Amino acid sequence: MNNMLTIENLSLQFGGVKALNDVSFHIEEGEIFSLIGPNGAGKTSMLNCISGLYQPTKGSMKFQNQEILTMKPYNRTGLGIARAFQNIALFAHMSVLDNLKLGRHIHMKSGLFAGGLYWGAAQKEEVEHRHAVEEVIEFLEMQDIRNVPVGTLSYGLQKRVEVGRALALNPKMILLDEPMAGMNSSEKEDMARYIIDMHETKGMTVVLIEHDMGVIMDLSDHIAVLDFGKLIGFGTPEEIQNNPEVIKAYLGEEEAG
């Protein structure tokens, strides 16, 4: 297996807080990879470093062997990294279809000149947007709600649209920050099925933050465990479940709760 993302000695500091402290791990191409750990452990910070929202203080981050540590988020999208947010960041008054299309326009627009001077190219791009968005609507089974304003949908469906917006960018690697938070059990099952399909039918690499340990252990090929910004475990679900340090810092605490 080839590495999709290789992270070495990554640190991120906010004032006196070490959000990430000398973290190293790798994510293989085409796998479902999960980041777990207690609240405030640094999971979202790590995702923000991967998407380019946060600039690490030091370390190295290679995407398909290319150093991306200082690369702008826009350029990372171009390489094939897309991200769905934990807190839904959609336009409530716009339809599902328009939210998905807008996501592509924002990230992939060819610019005013291309639009004005090369009408043919802009038209071709519009067709591509349409095609990608329709594919996502079918993949996430959103045909019935395609024209519905996002703000009127249930929380679970809004989360699905948020994931769809990242999917519409046709990424090689998709970053999902708690895609099942606040969902009921049938919505969770649907989302788990979509994640498996992203991996199995689209061959996508999926990076997941999730608190539901049942979901994590079922879906993940590999797991990294963070605690106070440090990597305290890395391995298969079985290895993680049998790792004494992880049990002490995180899993044990769940059992007790």
Ligand X SMILES: Nc1ncnc2c1ncn2[C@@H]1O[C@H](COP(=O)(O)OP(=O)(O)OP(=O)(O)O)[C@@H](O)[C@H]1O
| Shortest Cβ 44–ligand X spacing (Å) | 3
Phi-psi region of 6 (alpha: psi -120 to 50; beta: other; left: phi over 0): beta
Number of residues that bind ligand X (CB under 6 A): 11
Backbone angles phi, psi at 155, to 5 degrees: -60, -40
Our finding on whether 87 is near ligand X (CB under 6 A) is no
Task: Point out which span in 34-42, 60-68, 139-147, 241-249 binds ligand X (CB under 6 A).
Answer: 34-42
**175: how many CB neighbours lie within 10 A of its CB?**
23
| Shortest Cβ 57–ligand X spacing (Å) | 12
> What is the Cα 255 distance to its own chain's centre?
27
Q: What is the DSSP string of 150-213?
A: GGGS-HHHHHHHHHHHHHTT--SEEEEESTTTT--HHHHHHHHHHHHHHHHTS--EEEEE-S-H
Our finding on whether 159 is near ligand X (CB under 6 A) is no
Our finding on whether 156 is near ligand X (CB under 6 A) is no
* CA nearest to 256, candidates 38, 36, 34: 38
Nearer to ligand X, 19 or 168 (CB): 19
Our finding on whether 44 is near ligand X (CB under 6 A) is yes
| Shortest Cβ 85–ligand X spacing (Å) | 12
Our finding on whether 17 is near ligand X (CB under 6 A) is yes
What number of CA atoms fall less than 13 Å from residue 247's CA on the CB side?
Answer: 6
Nearer to ligand X, 102 or 181 (CB): 181
Nearer to ligand X, 43 or 83 (CB): 43
User: Could you give the CA distance from residue 89 to residue 149 in angstroms, rounded to a whole number?
Assistant: 14
Our finding on whether 165 is near ligand X (CB under 6 A) is no
Nearer to ligand X, 37 or 56 (CB): 37
Nearer to ligand X, 45 or 243 (CB): 45
Backbone angles phi, psi at 154, to 5 degrees: -65, 160
Q: How many angstroms separate the first and last alpha carbons of the chain? A: 38
Task: Point out which span in 13-21, 144-152, 230-238, 239-247 binds ligand X (CB under 6 A).
Answer: 13-21
Our finding on whether 14 is near ligand X (CB under 6 A) is yes
Residues forming contacts to ligand X in the complex (CB under 6 A) are: 14, 17, 19, 37, 39-45
